[in-house]
Amino acid sequence: MDLIQPNGQPNYGRFSALPRQIDLNQYVYKTPYGKVLTGWRKRLKYKKFKFCCIQHQHYTIGLAIADIAWAGHGFVYIYDHLKNEVTEWNAINFLSLNTVLDEQPLYSQSHFAKSGIQIDVQHANGVRYIQVSKHGELQLSARIFCAGTDPLSMCSPTGINGWTYTQKLTTLGCEGFFKNRQGEVIQFNERTFASLDDTCGFLRPETAWFWLSCNFWDAQNRRIGLNLASGVNESFGNENCLWINGVLYPVADVLFQQQDEEQWSIRSLDDRLNLLVSTGWRRYENLNLRLVGSQFSQWQAKISGTIQQDDQEIVLLNEYGLLEQHYAKW
């Protein structure tokens, strides 16, 4: 299946497999008043990003490439939960110079470069290859294996004239290495988990969302993954889901509620999911250029609570995860 139909409009729904391709040229974009936009006017409305999180022992690694048309954005961080130390790099390329983000689901090649830092992300044959280098010296190299895990793949209408496609995977096996703050080479192993988030589309010009992601081994040695969101994909459903040993289970709508400066609660409307989230170090951006802007918070989190799935109870006890709150005007 191609994401864009022959009539120039997207296929909507949750898909059992990834689309074969996303042909932006075939998509007919109209303003809310029915005028067809093409060329750079259409391109300015199109947003896309790739995010990867790797959880290895007490280290959490986050990296992203985003192309929001008027700018390219890249960041990498390595957070040590035991020492409360972070190594972080972040940059913006105006007009998306030195930024290539290939949103194709099955085969893609993306990169971002600035100030001696380069992020390369490739995908082929169900394997995601990621490299981060600093002045030509490799800082991170990862091979992430997607086989054996059901993908969350969905496209939903956004506002009156847009759409959002997202594909997400958690509890993926990972091989490779990274260098910590002290310059030590740390090898990934069979207990390392990776999660991927690829999103693109014609998002609302002014939007905001909450998001939580988590992967861990539970007491029964099962691979447990969790993706919860509110605010971005609710036009016809949601993107909430639970993975148990690679099998995806839908989760009902959820409510994110801040209790105090360091505590959040998340519960589903059917009361089968109840979580308490404690936040720590925050990756924070606040950019206001009047016509465009962004306020982005991504916290390192410890998550506790329970999830009921059929006759099973999933128990979370201070599991590492990410909590995100994002406002964008683009």
Phi, psi of 52 (to 5 degrees): -135, 135
In a domain, 201, yes or no: yes
> pLDDT, tens digit, for every residue of 130-185?
999 999 999 999 999 999 999 999 999 988 889 999 999 999 999 999 999 999 99
In a domain, 248, yes or no: yes
pLDDT at 128: 98
pLDDT at 235: 64
Q: How far apart are the C-alpha atoms of 164 and 93, rounded to whole Å?
A: 24
In a domain, 124, yes or no: yes
> pLDDT, tens digit, for every residue of 9-38?
999 999 999 999 999 999 999 999 999 999
Give the residue numbers spanning the domain of 79: 13-329
In a domain, 20, yes or no: yes
Please identify every stretch of the chain with a pLDDT value under 50, giving residue numbers as ranges: none
pLDDT at 291: 77
- Other CB atoms within 10 A of residue 209 CB: 17
Q: How far apart are the C-alpha atoms of 211 and 227, rounded to whole Å?
A: 8
Q: How far apart are the C-alpha atoms of 198 and 166, rounded to whole Å?
A: 6
Q: How many domains does the chain have?
A: 1
In a domain, 30, yes or no: yes
Q: How far apart are the C-alpha atoms of 207 and 164, rounded to whole Å?
A: 12
In a domain, 4, yes or no: no
In a domain, 3, yes or no: no
CB of 45 closer than 8 Å to CB of 36:
no
